[in-house]
Amino acid sequence: MKKSHRFYGHGIPRIKPEDLGGKLIVVEGADGSGRSTQIAHLVDWLETSGRPTVQVGLKRSTLVSEELEKAQHGNVLSRTTLSLFYATDFADQLENIIIPALKAGFIVLSDRYIYTLMARDMVRGMDEKWLKNLYGIAPEPDAVFYLSVEPEELVQRNLSKNATLDYWESGMDLGLAREVFDSFLKYQGAMGEAFRQLQKTYKFEIIDANRSVNSVNKELRKKIGAVLDGE
């Protein structure tokens, strides 16, 4: 398999990007965009066709996931702190899961990646340059798919699933609106905007995910198939 990864910035001490084989596939999108469902289908498809896969996602590190969860519950951390805490969580999974898996030639499916973390911080007024330096540790994925869903449709999907809108996914910490419903729409609109801004630097494909699970998955498989064939 061709080994052809590179880091966005300074990378990780003592890791040579040339040693990273495998494929890194990222699926981005808001809660309710169908990310997890799509990834589950992709894993089925890949493993059935005999390819080893590994899954990662935000807030899943051994090192800080518990503490991060606690901090979010109490809403006690300030902006830079939360941002660095998430970066720690990402770095821990990067070094302990993503990099070893790529070295072993696995297909890594990442349920969100640095782009969500950057977009969230940009919406909260953090400096884009600072974020780019911070996430210079990340390897450039082989493909990034952003599942784009209209905020109005996201509201419907989230409410039908949970009967409530999540505090953070509604950006309630920003004080955009008094009601969570209005805040959700405004926040998701701003997040979409931040993703479009990031797309200028970090090329990702925008997938129209206002469609059925199957038709979205078909498109993803076709595109991922092309990435894998290009080995």
- Interface residues toward other proteins, by CB under 8 A: 9-10, 12-14, 62-64, 66-67, 70-71, 76-81, 83-85, 87-88, 91-92, 94-96, 130, 133-134, 136-137
Structural contact between residues 12 and 94, judged by C-beta atoms closer than 8 angstroms: yes
Site of tokens 């951390």: 77
Cβ 31 to other proteins, closest distance in Å?
Answer: 24
Residue (48 or 78) nearer to other proteins, CB: 78
Q: Residue 203 is which amino acid? A: K
Order across the sheet with 53-57: list the strands.
Answer: 53-57, 107-111, 23-29, 143-148, 205-208
Q: What is the DSSP letter of 145?
A: E
Computed over its alpha carbons, how large is the radius of gyration of the chain?
17
Q: Which is nearer to other proteins, 133 or 162 (CB)?
A: 133
Minimum CB–partner distance for residue 84 and other proteins (Å):
4
Instruction: Name the residue nearer to other proteins (CB basis): 76 or 104.
Output: 76
Pick 17 or 136: Cβ nearer other proteins: 136
**Least distance from C-beta 221 to other proteins, angstroms?**
34
Backbone dihedral angles phi then psi of residue 93, each to the nearest 5 degrees = -70, -35
